[in-house]
Amino acid sequence: MNTLNGPVGVIPLEDHRTVTSQWYCEVCLPQAFEELSNERPSTGVRGILFYQDNAPAHTAARIMDYLTNSGVQMLPHPPYSPDLFLFPTVKKMLRGRRFQTADEAVEEFRRIFFDLPQDAFFNWFKSWFDRMCKCIGMGGNTLKKYK
């Protein structure tokens, strides 16, 4: 998860499992919102604008119900929206490396993630916001060039 000011936490998927709506609803989101609440003790998740991709595990009815009841405001995910910068950036930094254990890989991901400069998150958010404004200006047609 990341904020305008940088990352708050990393929630790894255990034992090479697949992200399912059950795991996302019962493990990932509660942990993510707990970490956010710890960072924001006076407001918790109130006032958070929540953005996620539109993978089936993220858009299942149980997830939408959970998010509606959590008090966060969902930002819509337009079709063909560009991916978050984070994962391609970190994947590039990890490419070709081997780890002895899954825990080692998670720790290296965390190290890279938390070492990303704070302005990278701000710049990504600004770029994402600008692209969404352009998408709205084009009537939602994200197949056109963004720039």
Q: Is residue 12 part of a domain?
A: yes
pLDDT in tens, 21-57: 999 999 999 998 998 888 888 888 888 878 787 788 8
The domain that holds 54 is classified in CATH as 3.30.420.10
pLDDT in tens, 103-131: 888 889 888 888 888 787 777 778 777 87
Helix (H, G, I), strand (E, B) or coil at 76: coil
Q: Is residue 147 part of a domain?
A: no
Look at residue 78 and tell me whether its pLDDT is greater than 80.
no
- If we measure between CA atoms, which residue out of 83, 76, 66, 71 comes closest to residue 28? 66
Residue 140: band (very low, low, confident or very high) from pLDDT cuts 50, 70, 90: low
- How many helices (H) and strands (E) would you count in the chain? 7, 4
Q: Is residue 82 part of a domain?
A: yes
pLDDT averaged over every residue in the chain: 78
Q: Is residue 144 part of a domain?
A: no
Q: In 45-145, which ranges are continuous DSSP H helix?
A: 56-59, 61-70, 86-94, 102-115, 118-137
Kind and range of the H or E run holding 34: helix 29-39
Q: How many CB atoms lie within 10 A of CB 95?
A: 7
Q: Is residue 143 part of a domain?
A: no
- Residue range of the domain that includes 115: 2-137
Q: Is residue 142 part of a domain?
A: no
The distance of Cα 75 from the centroid of its chain, to the nearest Å, equals: 12
Q: Is residue 146 part of a domain?
A: no
Number of domains the chain contains: 1
Q: Is residue 23 part of a domain?
A: yes
